[in-house]
Amino acid sequence: MNEPMQRLFAMIEGWGGKLERVNYVTYAEFVRARPLSFAPAPFTSADFGIFWKDKLFVYTDRVAIRPSELIHEMGHVFACLTPPRDLDTEEVDFLGWEYVLACAVGVDPVVWRRDNDQYMVTLPQSDGPVEMQALNDSEFAILMADRVFAAEKFGTIINGLPVAIR
């Protein structure tokens, strides 16, 4: 396991969460037992998801999770007050938190950006959402500055570091 993943695992535990790697049969049983509280990670595979209320991350031994994927799901659990399926959940609200967390644990920002290239974002003063991969470097920098500022204002980044708010 690489160093960023070790740091992320430690953060999950430090923030009161739990990460479980299980076989596919056990994974399916988890999901079947509580289908309404389970939220799959749609941009990864059918083998990774979260139980938001329990701060539980579950994945199977059939997949290798990338740090960027885990960071995104951590955003749902630790930087958002509403569950993923809630209509009030806006993923872009914790995008700055994700970026700062990725940098803090040693994920290459270029890799994080590439891993999230399908993220729908809206630049300040723009006409509407676009995929993050459509942004040039200058637009990306503007977006990240805006999202980090919003995360600081919301209280999910304090003194330049990401924090858990639940």
Of 13, 23, 110, the C-alpha closest to 5 is 13
The reported pLDDT for the residue numbered 36 is 87
> 41: closest CA among 24, 21, 57?
57
CA dist 67 → 38, 74, 84, 146 (Å): 20, 10, 19, 23
Q: Which of 71-75, 76-80, 122-126, 132-136 has the lowest mean pLDDT?
A: 122-126
For residues 119 and 139, give the distance between their C-alpha atoms in angstroms, rounded to a whole number.
14
Q: Supply φ then ψ for residue 32, to 5 degrees.
A: -65, -35
Q: Provide the pLDDT for residue 45.
A: 63
Question: Which pairs with CB-CB distance under 8 Å and at least 24 residues apart come from 42-50?
Answer: 43/69, 43/72, 43/118, 44/69, 48/73, 49/73, 50/76, 50/77, 50/84
Dump pLDDT digits (tens) for 139-165. Answer: 999 999 999 999 999 999 999 999 999
Question: Total domain count for the chain?
Answer: 1
* Residue-range definition of the domain harbouring residue 35: 3-162
| pLDDT for the residue 39 | 93
1 versus 54: which is more confidently predicted? Answer: 54
- Summarize pLDDT for 43-101 with one digit per residue, the tens: 766 789 999 999 999 999 887 889 999 999 999 999 999 998 887 788 889 999 999 99
